Chain A
Amino acid sequence: AQSVSQHNHHVILSEAASLELGCNYSYGGTVNLFWYVQYPGQHLQLLLKYFSGDPLVKGIKGFEAEFIKSKFSFNLRKPSVQWSDTAEYFCAVNELLAGTASKLTFGTGTRLQVTL
């Protein structure tokens, strides 16, 4: 079974600081990778995803992530965070089930707190 590690459990940044959240996964084959965000009181929303092609993917709200296959990593970055980015961030990797379907395996999440 796959596993996903998010080493930063709680990150506190000031507005305008740069952000990088780490994500490592265990599977060595073909993977689809995701970052989801959960704002306070809201449901999980897709931030960005990598399926194939350019390993640098851009998502909503100025976020990007880089897939580095040799490091089994898919770190999330944002050059300048805003107070509204305060949320919990989850990295996820798909794991194939029978047939063509897959399930998501999530990391434990990183709580980002942005201070004014």
Chain B
Amino acid sequence: DTGVSQNPRHKITKRGQNVTFRCDPISEHNRLYWYRQTLGQGPEFLTYFQNEAQLEKSRLLSDRFSAERPKGSFSTLEIQRTEQGDSAMYLCASVGAVFQETQYFGPGTRLLVL
């Protein structure tokens, strides 16, 4: 399978704990996005990487959220001191060449904060 992969697929944690999610984009896609989707809503943009540089962050991304893409390939999204409101599906998408704007999505990581 050469699509976008995300791990873990499901995560249950207690409030106050830290969690980290991983996204592996399609090989050679240099742009990577994180979105969050809550029940009954469409995905909402969180942050964007071009290669290893994080170029845009949404106001939705509080100080407890941090994302990295250290070698310009896979990316991690960490949430510190989780809150119940962080419960959502976290989606990753990647895009290939410039001006090819189609984003390919991974299966997501569903987070439940108890």
**How many Å lie between the Cα of A71 and that of B103 in the bound state?**
25
Chain B nearest Cβ from A25, distance in angstroms: 12
Chain B nearest Cβ from A116, distance in angstroms: 26
**How many Å lie between the Cα of A29 and that of B84 in the bound state?**
38
Q: Is the Cβ of A103 less than 8 Å from the Cβ of B42?
A: no
Q: Is the Cβ of B41 less than 8 Å from the Cβ of A32?
A: no
- Closest A residue to B33 by beta carbon equals A103
Q: Is the Cβ of A44 less than 8 Å from the Cβ of B105?
A: yes
Chain A nearest Cβ from B45, distance in angstroms: 4
Query: Is A60's CB within 8 Å of the partner chain B?
Result: no
Interface residues of A in 1-20 (CB under 8 A from B): 4
Query: Is A75's CB within 8 Å of the partner chain B?
Result: no
Q: Is the Cβ of A101 less than 8 Å from the Cβ of B55?
A: yes
**How many Å lie between the Cα of A28 and that of B95 in the bound state?**
25
- Closest B residue to A104 by beta carbon equals B103
- Closest B residue to A45 by beta carbon equals B105
- Closest A residue to B55 by beta carbon equals A98
| Partner among A4, A94, A107, A109 whose Cβ is within 8 Å of the Cβ of B101 | A94
Q: Is the Cβ of A97 less than 8 Å from the Cβ of B108?
A: no
Query: Is B56's CB within 8 Å of the partner chain A?
Result: yes
**How many Å lie between the Cα of A100 and that of B95 in the bound state?**
12
| Partner among A36, A97, A104, A107 whose Cβ is within 8 Å of the Cβ of B55 | A97
Q: Is the Cβ of B106 less than 8 Å from the Cβ of A43?
A: yes
Q: Is the Cβ of B48 less than 8 Å from the Cβ of A103?
A: yes
A101-B31 contact in complex given A51-B101, A94-B101, C-beta closer than 8 Å: yes
Hey, which chain A residues are within 8 Å of B98, CB to CB?
100
Q: Can you report 12 residue pairs joining A to B where beta carbons are below 8 Å apart?
A: A4-B42, A43-B105, A43-B106, A45-B105, A46-B104, A92-B42, A97-B55, A101-B56, A102-B101, A103-B33, A103-B56, A108-B41
The 7 A-B residue pairs whose C-beta atoms are closest, nearest first, are: A106-B42, A44-B105, A43-B107, A103-B45, A97-B56, A106-B43, A90-B42
Q: A98-B55, A99-B50, A108-B42 are in contact. List 15 more A-B contacts (CB 8 A).
A: A4-B42, A32-B101, A43-B107, A45-B105, A51-B101, A90-B42, A92-B42, A97-B48, A101-B31, A101-B48, A103-B33, A105-B45, A108-B40, A109-B40, A109-B41
